[in-house]
Every structure is written in structure tokens, then in C-alpha cells.
Structure 1
């Protein structure tokens, strides 16, 4: 299903996107060395419920997971990159953490992810990997305009990732979003320009470049959800929800002040 949102729905989408961006910003500021992943999940739950919203993850049970997910946010550490299930783990200095949050407010969902290094220890390759996903996301957003095709976005994203030397996994990528979290069209993180669905104003998309250092192959944890790099290397993931407008793309999930 591909939804084209009405002006009233778009206003609600902006509210949802603002909420997602605000929660991620707050969680990043609260998270430090010694923070437990279950604390992050609890904080996310409190902020979601206080806003009168719903997590898109608690009852999420797709074919590829061992559902329902049962938590309010995805927390992926170091070699984990997608669908990281919160568990009893305290973060250490230098851990690379990805927070992925999808929320529904008044019937419209928004989805975003950020990766960052916890504490004061910094690794140049971690920073390069995070920066690469952020630049790939910006390239995909820049390519999103009325009349463009999904392949144009995939090509823009993939060009940045490939130029930086990262293998690209095509199993999981961006997606349509609206009244539900995951909709058509699928937006692979690499592709051929000029191919696929033609973008129209009112279309909501979640773009999410992610990479693993030195591999494009995933393995699944015993929890049935958390996806990790097959070689145990670090990972990074950046995501925004955007809406196609008459002039281009509007980012809905920016953090406050950006």
C-alpha cells in the first residue's frame, strides 16, 4: 500500500515527526557511560505515553522477527545495526549506539534513527562511518522531489556509501510510512536511477542508510530480532522521515533547533 497524505494528515505527520526528533534528542542527551539499555527503553516509553502517542514497536510482529518486539525503541550497540532489542546491558565508554524510534500520534507515524559514540573515547573510523550514513541520508533527501523516482533516491544514497568503501546490504532499507510504520515503496540503499515509483506531493518516506564495516551480511541474535554484522565489525545507521512537497522534501524528524 502507498498512501498520499491529505493536508490535515500532513499537519499531524509534522507533529509526530517533531515528537520523534525531540525524544531522540532527549535520549541522546541523557545517555552516557553506565546507562542501561532498559533505562533508555523506559525513558522512551514515558515520553511517548506523556505525549499521548503510541510506540510502533511494542506489538510489532513482522515475518522476519520473533515477535512481538515488546519494547518501545530499538537500541543497537557496536556490531548490532538493526532491530536492536533492549536488554540488561550497561553502556561502556566508546560504545557505538544506534537509537531507532518509530511513533504514531493521532493516526500518523514517523520513524528516525541516530548513531553516536557514548562517552569521551572516540575512534576515527566510527566517526567516519556515522558521518557517511548522515551524508548518504542527506543525498537521498536532496534527490527527493516531485517527479523523481525511488531509484533516484537509492542511487544517491548508494553512491555515497560505495564511494566511502562500504559494502551495501539490500535486504533492509527505507520505506513508505503513514497510517502504519512500514509501507510501500521499499527504498533500497543502492539502485538504478530513473527506475521505480514516481514521487508525488503528500508521499511520506523514511530514508535509512546503514552500513557495516567490511561486510554486507547480517546475522540474527538468539532474541530473534537484533541484527548484527556477520564479521563482528562496528555499524552505523541514520534515518529521517520526510514528506514530498511541491518544492522538494521536508524533513519531519529533525531534532530541536535544527
Structure 2
């Protein structure tokens, strides 16, 4: 440990990568289930099947009382949407966030996409820009001195596109628990942030909205919505930092395909 930040060995990172690849497969299954006429519960069930069949455990189910395997958020719902009987329609923006535990080590990732044909060009730009902000942050992590370097890279992409990071919601450390120190903001904050050190594993997760960065929590005490009802997107990957580089734990290729255009080559732990 370094203060309150848990530092992992490379062997521990490899176990986290096992959990991460299961999460990637669960998200792919959940996305495939999201067709017009399906419900958000259908997406949750698809993710749950993949995690169970892999012999892993959901780290979302039961977390502080959360009742499902995945968070499924639609349109103005930014994060933490509870799956249920909401029927998906053509043009919905869906964000799915889920995780898995293998041998006590956690993986956590999220994706956003449009169901069927998009309703507006702005929706396509929102989803793609949020993903681009995520990969910009991951690329920055490869050479970052401090966490603030990652936050700045994410915010810069959002600013260029005229989008806004959701205020008050941040990325986090991950390892023997799903949420750990340090926080990884998606925007610049005052004060000195922690130094990036080998052994850190961080979940980067930009949440961008078209309108106001302000939000509210619904009466279910989980679902976070944009205050002005504007649409949102959410992308997340868990990333390991070690002596020889970085590795995206929740991507089967370690992030190689997405990082190559950004000049970064991931190195397996």
C-alpha cells in the first residue's frame, strides 16, 4: 500500500485481467440483447449469464443494496440505472456498466451505444466523443506524472466537442474492492493530485452530457439523471500501471487497437 492507495503485483494484475475480460464479454452480451422491443432487464440478464457461466461473481449485485448485475441507463439517465421493464426503442442511447470478481480481484467497465438507427447526429457525436475522451485519458495515463494529467486529457476532449463532464462523479482505484482510492476526476480540480505509480489500477470513466453538467438522483436512490433532461453517455475501462507500461484490464487486447492511433503500445503485466 502507498498511503491509502493499493499497489498490485503483476501477478495480481493478471488475475484482474481475467476478471476484466469476463466483464468485456458480459458487456458484449448485454449490448446484443438491446434491440427495439427488449427491456433493460433483458440486458441485465444477458450480462448475468456470462458472468455466472465464467464462474465469476458480480460485484454490482448487492453492492450497497443495488438489485442487479448491471447498471443500464437510457438517454437522460447518466449512470446507475436500475434494469427493469423499460422497453427500448429505436434511437435510445443506452449505457451499460458492470463488473466481475475473480479470486477476490475486481474488474469494472462500461459502454454506451445507440439502439438501432440514431435519432440525431448529436447522439452519435456524444457517444463517440465520450469513448474518445476515455481513450485520451488512458493514453495520458501511460506517461502521466499525476492523476490530474489524466483528468485534463479527458476534459480537453469534452471541451473541444462542447460537451460537459458530469459534475461530482469520477473514476476510481480498483483492486480488492470495486471502488478504492484514488479518485480519477473527469475534469480539472484544484489542488495536487496523487502521483501515478507502478502498481496502481484505475477505473477511468468519463460521463459526458450534451446539456448542463448538473444532475439529480431519482426516487429509487440510484439512477442519476441530467438535470435538464439532456442525453448522456458513459464509457469506462479498468487500467493497470506497471514498471513497463500500462495494460487495459477490461480489453482482451489490452487496449492495443484503440491506443495505437494515440501512439501508445500497451504492455501485458
TM-score for the superposition, normalised by structure 2: 0.88
Classify the secondary structure of the residue corresponding to 2:167: coil
Whole-angstrom distance in 2 between the partners of 1:113 and 1:224: 20
More relative contact order, 1 or 2 (CA 8 Å, 6+ apart) = 1
Q: 1:161 to 1:121 in 2, by over 3 A?
A: closer
Alignment of 1:232 onto 2:235: no
Greater Cα shift, 69-78 or 50-59? 50-59
Query: Hey, what does 2:25 align to over in structure 1?
Result: 22
Unaligned runs of 5+ residues in structure 1 are: 62-67
CA distance in 2, matches of 1:170, 1:39: 30
The corresponding residue for 1:116 is 113
Shift of 1:146: 6.1
In 2, the alpha carbon distance for the partners of 1:85 and 1:200 equals: 35
| 8 Å CA contact retained: 1:20, 1:103 | yes
Residue of structure 2 in register with 1:83 after alignment: 80
| Whole-Å separation in 1 of the counterparts to 2:128 and 2:233 | 9
Unmatched segments (≥5 aa) in structure 2: 258-269
SS of the counterpart of 2:132? helix
Structure 2 CA distance for partners of 1:47 and 1:38, relative to 1, 3 Å = same
1:143 is paired with a residue whose SS is helix
Select which of 138, 141, 144 maps to 2:141: 144
What SS class does the counterpart of residue 205 from structure 1 fall into?
Answer: strand
Q: Compute the TM-score of the two structures, normalised by the length of structure 1.
A: 0.92
Match of 1:59 in 2: 62
In structure 1, C-alpha distance between the alignment counterparts of 2:70 and 2:189, rounded to whole Å: 32
By how many angstroms is 1:122 displaced? 4.3
Residues 32-111 of structure 1 mapped to structure 2, 5 A cutoff: 32-61=35-64, 68-111=65-108
Q: How many residues align?
A: 252
Listed one character per residue, the Cα deviations across residues 23-44 of structure 1 (whole Å, up to 9, x for unaligned) are 1122212321111111111222
Q: C-alpha distance in 2, partners of 1:133/1:12? A: 28
Question: C-alpha deviations, 1:124-174, integer Å up to 9, x for none?
Answer: 101111111111111111111366201111111111111211233331111
1:27-79 CA-to-partner distances (Å, cap 9, x unmatched) read 21232111111111122222111111111111211xxxxxx011100000000
Q: Secondary structure at the match of 2:131?
A: helix
Within 2, Cα distance between the matches of 1:76 and 1:164?
Answer: 22
